[in-house]
Amino acid sequence: MNSKWIKFICNIDSLAFSEVLLKFPISKDSSYGFDVHSFDESQSKCSYFEKYDEVVKYSLPNGELFTYETVKVIKFDFSIFFLNGKSIVLCVNNPPKSLRSFISKISESLGPQVYVSNVFFDVISFYNAFKASPNLTEFNVNEITVSNILFDENNSGELTLKSRTNALLALEQRFSHNRYTCKGMRFSFFNNGVKGKIKISRMGTIDFSENLYDLLPTLLLDLISKNE
């Protein structure tokens, strides 16, 4: 499952947030709307719906331009996690290419003084947190991408390293005294005997196996809270 993580800073609690979304229900007469499936003090599970008209143009064999309008529909699920009095983290499941309209609609619904940003992951810390988790074994870092890595005193750049065993270990051995920024990582492991896979980007996207759906938010929110 692919996911996008977004952070909101606003002075609102879980009940008030859910009540705001419920003011814009999904209906055939609305251009957009929200559905709140469940909520408590720490988490809400919701859906977002949006429809819009799209003009499609075709050129006929004789050169004549043919156009018509069609209705496009976007619908996806998302979860809301309430970290403290002001920080809210949204996890969008299988997001579309652009979330601009979705973020705009939520921001407008919440009113002024709302700050929105990507969740920037410390990829190495994320990986280490997973390694420290119980019941997870046999870790393999299959791919890692780093930037700002110094090759020599005159040259630096970006590097992607792939491995059948541990690309992170190979990177650390080759560039043991180097500082760099980890942009992304792909790794696998076993969770109670079942293989799991994760691909994480520093810019707030995570692609993960379905069997990690319950474990992933707990680890992520703990890391985000530590950086508050």
End-to-end CA distance of the chain: 27
* CB-based contact 142:188 (threshold 8 Å): yes
**Digit-coded pLDDT (tens) for 127-142:** 998 888 888 899 999 9
How far apart, in Å, are the Cα atoms of 225 and each of 44, 114, 198, 221?
A: 18, 19, 21, 6
Q: What local confidence, expressed as pLDDT, does residue 163 receive? A: 92
The predicted model gives 47-60 an average pLDDT of 87
Classify each residue of 152-163 as buried b or exposed e, where b means 16 or more C-beta atoms within 10 Å of its C-beta.
eeeeeeebebee
Q: What local confidence, expressed as pLDDT, does residue 40 receive? A: 82
Given pLDDT bands bounded at 50, 70 and 90, which one contains residue 45? very high
Given pLDDT bands bounded at 50, 70 and 90, which one contains residue 47? very high
Whether the predicted pLDDT of 214 surpasses 90: no
Mean pLDDT of the chain: 87
Calpha distance 123→41 (Å, rounded): 28
Calpha distance 182→156 (Å, rounded): 14
Residue 227 vs residue 185, higher pLDDT: 185
* CB-based contact 214:222 (threshold 8 Å): no
Whether the predicted pLDDT of 85 surpasses 80: no
**Residues ≥6 apart with Cβ < 8 Å to 137:** 189, 190
DSSP letters, 161-225, are EE-SSBHHHHHHHHTTT---EEEEEEEEEEETTEEEEEEEETTSEEEE-GGGTTHHHHHHHHHHH
pTM of the model: 0.82
CATH fold, domain 2-118, is Double Stranded RNA Binding Domain (3.30.160)
Whether the predicted pLDDT of 225 surpasses 80: no
Contacts of 154-162 with CB under 8 Å at 24 or more apart are 158/183
Domain boundaries, the chain: 2-118, 123-226
Q: What local confidence, expressed as pLDDT, does residue 219 receive? A: 82
Other Cβ atoms closer than 10 A to 197: 15
